[in-house]
Homo-oligomer: A and B are copies of this chain.
């Protein structure tokens, strides 16, 4: 493409890309991309995301760079949006060349965030959950639920999901969507029923408040908890007693201490960053009876991995379109001349 255009992956093209590759394969590919980047964690520039909070939600910018590519994501979180027919989370992202600062990809990331969040969760579970886990409780059956179910099937061999949501319509929607997924799907009317017999418990609810989705008595020994709904200051899902019994794994501790479940703990409570486990620097699950907890809030490097993957795939498949986003005068110092030569005659 020419200098002035940036390849853009629209929502329609993202859907084409996912269907072209297959959703479970995309989830596996994203997990592989994230794993690859987590292995070279130290080569990334890291900063907690820059959040703008309001009474009803949050808007965040999540940048990172590996020295060759720079990426960032814009993402909002507005739990009350669904009441007005809007989504809780929407996102888009960008990749640029560090060498020139020129963007090389603009992409929708609402779908991509759902995919990469599920891929990250399943990647963490592959390193932390019991090896023989086949049953997962899925508490919170909103926009993220099906992606989690499919990622755990594709990456961890989960064969049965037990669904629960305070809103039975959400559970019905989720069960219907998973009908032909190859998963055995059970709908449950209580968290207790959903957790019964599960080796993995995923919580992905969206209220922007302290909530107790999971109480201490529901968590038996040997369980892996995948807690991804608590991702904002003042927004948590687990009773603090569960945290105190668990070995806690996070993406990037300085950010998770602000946003994750562990905001309920003292700032020096020991946690392990997932990349350390992946890179063989720290143990994962150390005992069959251990409760492991992935306190996932989403980190910029995961989005970077996802954008990098989409960039590769969109070059390969052509599921993108050129966007006239960069002013490109013939003489780079002659921006004004370019503007003047465009002239009033070009007015549409």
Residues of A within 8 A of B (CB): 3-4, 8, 10-16, 18-20, 23, 45, 47, 50, 52, 54, 56-59, 61, 63, 65, 67, 70, 72, 74, 76-78, 81-82, 84-88, 90, 92, 94, 96, 98-103, 108, 110-111, 114, 141-147, 170, 173, 176-177, 319, 323-329, 331-340, 342-344, 346-348
12 new A-B contacts, CB < 8 A, other than A11-B327, A19-B347, A141-B333, are A3-B85, A11-B328, A12-B342, A16-B348, A54-B67, A59-B101, A74-B103, A76-B101, A77-B101, A82-B333, A87-B328, A147-B336
- B96 touching A76 by the CB < 8 A rule? yes
- B87 touching A15 by the CB < 8 A rule? no
Give chain B nearest CB distance to A26 CB in angstroms: 10
Name 24 A/B residue pairs within 8 A (Cβ), A-sorted. Answer: A3-B86, A11-B324, A12-B324, A13-B348, A15-B346, A19-B342, A19-B344, A19-B346, A19-B347, A45-B52, A54-B99, A59-B101, A76-B100, A76-B102, A84-B100, A86-B102, A86-B332, A87-B326, A108-B326, A142-B333, A143-B334, A170-B333, A176-B337, A177-B337
What chain B residues lie within 8 Å of A15 (beta carbons)? 338-339, 342, 346
- A61 touching B59 by the CB < 8 A rule? no
Give chain B nearest CB distance to A138 CB in angstroms: 12
What chain B residues lie within 8 Å of A16 (beta carbons)? 342, 346-348
What chain B residues lie within 8 Å of A86 (beta carbons)? 3, 100, 102, 332
What chain B residues lie within 8 Å of A333 (beta carbons)? 82, 141-143, 170, 173
What chain B residues lie within 8 Å of A14 (beta carbons)? 327
Give chain B nearest CB distance to A203 CB in angstroms: 16
In the assembled complex, the Cα of A99 lies from the Cα of B87 at a distance in Å of 12
- A327 touching B63 by the CB < 8 A rule? no
What chain B residues lie within 8 Å of A47 (beta carbons)? 50
- B57 touching A101 by the CB < 8 A rule? yes
Quick one: which of A50, A87, A173 has the most chain B CB within 10 A?
Answer: A87
In the assembled complex, the Cα of A111 lies from the Cα of B54 at a distance in Å of 31
Give chain B nearest CB distance to A6 CB in angstroms: 9
Give chain B nearest CB distance to A175 CB in angstroms: 12
What chain B residues lie within 8 Å of A8 (beta carbons)? 323
Among B52, B81, B96, contact of A59 (Cβ-Cβ < 8 Å): B96
Quick one: which of A14, A86, A328 has the most chain B CB within 10 A?
Answer: A86
